[in-house]
Homo-oligomer: A and B are copies of this chain.
Amino acid sequence: MTPSPTVSPTAHRAWELVLQRIETDLLEGTLVPGDHLPPERTLATDLGVGRSSVREAYRVLEVLGLIRTQTGSGPQSGAIIIARPSGGMSTLMRYQVAAHGYPVADVVKTRLVLEAAVVSELVSSDAPELAEATQILDTMDSRTAELSPSDFLALDAAFHLALAVASGNTVIASMMAGLRSSVESYVLAGVPALPSWDDTAARLRQEHRDILSAINAGNASLAASAISHHISGYYQEINFPSGQ
């Protein structure tokens, strides 16, 4: 402990103490992305707790997407703070949806809100970085015949994620990834209910192009309505009882 002797009020459990120590080190800048966390055994003795408690804390940080761990020795081994967020939001939402903590309808509604915000941001951007998204659409077009619904929908998700990333908002991009992955099983499960997968795929591809066109044309309202229609349309087609 360095500056603030404020012993946190809520560290009844040993692993929480470990977590708090790391959080304060992060806030103070003692730990920055790319740094190694102390070896489990070292931090355990430093804090006067057992190694298992340190491990529980590290496990939490790993699932939250804050660190990655690797066995062995050398510069890449141990627990390293990752620079770019990954995974945590998806894991959280996936489990919350699985446990019925988040109704799927709310997830879909939230996605509509965020997608609209993303395209709105892209429209007002001077030179949006849409190369990634465009390339994904090209792939969908050129390989449309050989793509399974699962593959196609994965590209669809990648397209929407690429838009979110292009909008420049890390938080929204994370949320979009999480929202998508949390309902992925529902999206896939709806495919057999479609009258014609080929027709649906063709429609989705066209809608993607329309969205991109609207963004490039700087037409905010058109882009927003296009993406809204694009998303809610699919859920309606698979008869998903979202509040549309």
Contact = CB atoms under 8 A, between A and B. Distances in A.
Contact of A81 (B56, B99, B185): B99
Interface string A1-15: 111111000000001
A87 interface: yes
A117 interface: yes
Given A1-B84, A157-B3, A175-B175, A98 B55 contact: no
B165 A33 contact: no
A154 interface: yes
Contacts of A157: 3-4
B106 A26 contact: no
A220 interface: no
Q: Considering residues A56, A114, A177, which has the most beta carbons from chain B within 10 angstroms of its beta carbon?
A: A56
A89 interface: yes
A85 interface: yes
A64 B92 contact: yes
Nearest to A174: B1
A1 B110 contact: no
Nearest to A111: B171
Contact of A88 (B15, B84, B92, B113): B92
A60 interface: yes
A27 B185 contact: yes
A161 interface: yes
A9 B103 CA distance: 25
Contacts of A185: 27
Nearest to A26: B98
Given A55-B52, A169-B110, A1 B85 contact: yes
B106 A171 contact: yes
Interface of A: 1-6, 15, 23, 26-27, 31-33, 52, 55-56, 59-61, 63-66, 81-96, 98-103, 106-107, 109-110, 113-114, 117, 154, 157-158, 161, 165, 169-175, 177, 179-181, 184-185
